Amino acid sequence: MAVHSHKALIWLPFAAGGMLAAFVLPIMIVLTTGFLFPGALSYERAYAFADNWIGKLILLGVILLPMWHAAHRLRITAHDFGIHNDAAVRWACYVLAGVGSVLTVVFLLAI
Amino acid sequence: MREIQLEVLRYSPETDSEPRFETFQVPCQEDWVVLDAINHVKDHMDSSLTYRWSCHMAVCGSCGMMVNGEPVLSCKAFIRDYPDKIRVEPLANFPIEKDLVVVMDDFMEKLKASKPYIIPKEEKSIDDGEYLQTPLQLEAFKQYSMCINCMLCYAACPQYALAPEFVGPAALALTYRYNKDSRDGGKAERAHMFSKSEGVWECSFVGACSEVCPKHVDPAAAIQLGKVESAVDYFKSFLMPWSR
């Protein structure tokens, strides 16, 4: 239906990325700093994690979604700070997130 | 008795090219609110001072204004909570009609277009009996029905200040209130205001609307929940085009 704005497409990864950044990433950072589980980030373990489809999917989610969250948040923050050239800001933010997304997929597939 | 300096914004479209401030020395009683001080000016000092008010008990939503830069109901703002110098201005983000009276047309048009009333799923005759509602069904929308259309949330919203086409907190929260009512079937009719770009999607979740609401409505929550629903409806309109 024409009444629904396409902004939903941008907002969903933004909202999901925000949830991930708030709840999942802090725990992942704690888990991977090595204080609780020494050796958790050893090369062999990290490689094994990224070398199967479930691991790749998780990594894709926790990298890609917060990246789109950051892009949209920066765009809105620029607006709130009085930078009203939205076309340029939008272009810069989303292209950066888009390039980041493509690179993430490429690197994950290369493993 | 305490004497305050009441700085009031004055503007008369017939004689003034731009707004100016006029200061009144007002003797206030301990239990006075800002509206009492303004009424004192009107009754004893300058009868031309123009402002809206009615109930004096935070129910009618008429006396919203900026007091020391914050949007408040002047009948709920106690003098004792303010310093000796109090600055009173019309609600921010609206054009001034005269003195403390703002032009409400933009809000009224958006409110009307949002259809904030029950559009029944099916018409029932009186013989069919009342519409029953469980406490849980009431809980889904009750807080949003407390809105008194005082427009403080519009004066507080930085997004409305930047983008006047934004439907805005009160109209969206009221739309959500009727969408969530178990007796209602008008969600699709309200979508043209609610789910459009200038509807829920224009909100950047600053949350000032919920901070200033004198009736403890949480418009920011209604809008965020509305975004989730609009996003679901957006995808449903492609995946299940028959579902309206």
Q: What is the pLDDT of residues B99-146, one digit of tens each?
A: 999 999 999 999 999 999 999 988 889 999 888 999 999 999 999 999
CA–CA separation, B45 and B59 (whole Å): 27
* Amino acid at the residue A100: G
Nearest to B95 by CA among B85, B86, B81, B105: B105
**Which percentage of chain A shows pLDDT scores above 90?**
58
CA B124 to chain centre: 33
For residue range B226-243, list pLDDT tens digits in order: 999 999 999 888 888 776
Q: What is the pTM of this model?
A: 0.87
Nearest to B59 by CA among B214, B200, B197: B214
For residue range B76-98, list pLDDT tens digits in order: 999 999 999 999 999 999 999 99
pLDDT for the residue numbered A6: 85
Domain that holds residue A87: 7-110
Most confident of A12-26, A49-63, B58-72, B192-206: B58-72
Report B:8-27 residues touching A (Cβ under 8 A): none
Report B:158-197 residues touching A (Cβ under 8 A): 158, 162, 191-192, 195-197
Residue B9 has pLDDT above 60, yes or no: yes
A81 touches chain B (CB under 8 A): no
Spell out the domains of chain B, with CATH numbers in brackets.
Answer: 2-102 (3.10.20.30), 105-243 (1.10.1060.10)
- By CB neighbour count within 10 A (0-12 exposed, 13-18 middle, 19+ buried), where does B66 fall? buried
Which residue in B223, B230, B242, B243 has the most chain A C-beta atoms within 10 A of its own C-beta, making it the best mutation to test that interface? Answer: B230
With a cut of 70, which residues of chain A have pLDDT below it?
Answer: 1-2
Residues 6+ apart with CB under 8 A from B15: none
The whole-number average pLDDT for the span B215-233 is 96
Residue A61 is assigned to a structural domain of this protein? yes
pLDDT for the residue numbered B51: 98
Which residue in A7, A10, A83 has the most chain B C-beta atoms within 10 A of its own C-beta, making it the best mutation to test that interface? Answer: A7
* Shortest Cα–Cα distance, A56 to chain B (Å): 26
What's A87's domain CATH number?
A: 1.20.1300.10
For residue range B15-50, list pLDDT tens digits in order: 999 999 999 999 999 999 999 999 999 999 999 999
- Domain count for chain A, please give it: 1
Q: Please give the residue of chain A at the shortest CA–CA distance from B229.
A: A8
pLDDT for the residue numbered A7: 87
Residue A2 is assigned to a structural domain of this protein? no
Residue A51 is assigned to a structural domain of this protein? yes
Q: Does the ipTM exceed 0.85?
A: no
A6 touches chain B (CB under 8 A): yes
